[in-house]
């Protein structure tokens, strides 16, 4: 294998060719930073978080493929992944994940002690998740906590301490992640069941669509409560309304449980995150008089 081929295999192992995971992890981090700063966050902290999100999502994908290296060859959608196709060895994958996590931790150390301590928890959540679906019937809840942990880290970095709203926001993100990752799990439900793996789609069975919609509804409801709590205005709620419209579109996609349409619904959550962020950022922008 040439150097170019090996680098391409590493890129695909980190899923840099499929950035939706980066997007879904980045939006909560940005929401947290903007709310913690009540406006535009410090530029150095913002850049560290953006790079850190890319690094940690990449490390999480590597660990996930390492955990699934014996399962992925048996699934059509994943059999061509670098570890499944034996283009990368397990030792190489672990070394790559370690390098990514060390770099990410090095970046967090530039912020403050509290953020660094929280990053250790986030790292543990990320590393455990890929192995959890063998044991826990609802691994999407764990993923939600892992993705939601970007919120307390953002508050620690920008605000310097943790306050109650950070934990409430984390719960909102947990429900959002449960919703979109259940949509993703609906794509792989038959294969996961055959291999003895666990997921929310398998757990919910014929109530899977209802479960996704309830999780989305709880996410949006909590975000609305946060908006009132933080005295946000009409533009923020307009963003939430746009997100709700996108959720309605996702219902139309998943109600027939077609695998391709379920995956399309999963991808649509990138736009949900953008809608919420746009409403939040614009509301703070004009409420602070920056746009005048």
**Residue ranges per structural domain of the chain:** 3-287
d(CA 52, CA 134): 28
Which pLDDT belongs to residue 193? 84
Q: Given its phi and psi angles, is residue 3 left (phi above 0), alpha (psi -120 to 50 degrees) or beta?
A: alpha
Neighbours of 137 (CB within 10 A): 12
Yes or no: say if 26 and 56 are a contact pair by the CB < 8 Å rule: no
Which listed CATH number (3.10.180.10, 1.10.357.140, 1.20.1250.20, 3.30.470.20) goes with 3-287?
1.10.357.140
Q: Which two tokens stand for residue 105?
A: 């931790």
Q: Which two tokens stand for residue 99?
A: 């390098």
Whether residue 132 has pLDDT greater than 90:
no
Note the pLDDT tens digit of each residue in 97-126. Answer: 999 999 999 999 999 999 999 999 998 998
The predicted model gives 6-12 an average pLDDT of 90
Q: Which two tokens stand for residue 169?
A: 């926001």
If one compares 173 and 194, the residue with the highest pLDDT of the two is 173
The fraction of the chain above a pLDDT of 70, given in percent, is 99
> pLDDT averaged over the chain?
91
The predicted model gives 141-147 an average pLDDT of 91
Whether residue 291 has pLDDT greater than 90:
no
d(CA 15, CA 94): 15
Model pTM score? 0.92
> Phi and psi (nearest 5°) for 178?
-60, -40
Note the pLDDT tens digit of each residue in 246-255. Answer: 999 999 999 9
Lowest-confidence region among 33-37, 54-58, 79-83, 259-263 = 79-83
Lowest-confidence region among 46-50, 63-67, 94-98 = 63-67
Which pLDDT belongs to residue 197? 82
Q: How far apart are the first and last CA of the chain?
A: 58
d(CA 261, CA 253): 5
In the block, which residue shows the tokens 């996590």? 101
Q: Return the DSSP state at 85.
A: T
Which pLDDT belongs to residue 290? 56
Q: Return the DSSP state at 205.
A: G
């Amino acid at each position: 294998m040439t150097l170019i081929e090996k680098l391409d295999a590493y890129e695909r192992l980190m899923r840099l060719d499929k950035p939706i995971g980066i997007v879904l992890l980045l939006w909560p981090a940005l929401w947290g930073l903007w709310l913690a700063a009540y406006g535009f966050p410090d530029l150095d902290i913002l850049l560290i978080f953006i790079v850190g999100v890319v690094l940690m999502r990449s490390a999480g994908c590597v660990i996930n493929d390492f955990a699934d290296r014996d399962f992925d060859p048996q699934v059509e959608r994943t059999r061509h992944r670098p570890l499944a196709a034996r283009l990368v060895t397990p030792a190489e994958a672990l070394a790559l994940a370690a390098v990514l996590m060390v770099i990410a931790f090095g970046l967090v150390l530039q912020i403050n002690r509290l953020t660094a301590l929280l990053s250790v928890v986030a790292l543990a959540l990320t590393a455990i998740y890929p192995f959890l679906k063998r044991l826990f019937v609802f691994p999407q809840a764990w993923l939600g906590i892992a993705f939601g942990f970007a919120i307390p880290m953002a508050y620690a970095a920008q605000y310097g301490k943790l306050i109650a709203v950070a934990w409430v926001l984390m719960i909102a993100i947990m429900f959002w992640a449960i919703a979109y990752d259940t949509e993703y799990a609906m794509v792989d439900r038959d294969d996961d069941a055959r291999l003895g793996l666990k997921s929310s789609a398998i757990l919910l069975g014929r109530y899977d669509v209802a479960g996704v919609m309830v999780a989305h509804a709880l996410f949006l409801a909590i975000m609305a409560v946060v908006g009132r709590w933080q005295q946000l205005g009409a533009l923020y709620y307009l963003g939430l309304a746009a997100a709700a419209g996108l959720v309605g579109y996702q219902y139309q996609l998943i109600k027939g449980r077609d695998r391709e349409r379920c995956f399309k619904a999963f991808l649509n959550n990138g736009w949900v995150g953008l809608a919420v962020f746009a409403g939040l950022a614009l509301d703070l922008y004009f409420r602070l008089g920056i746009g005048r």
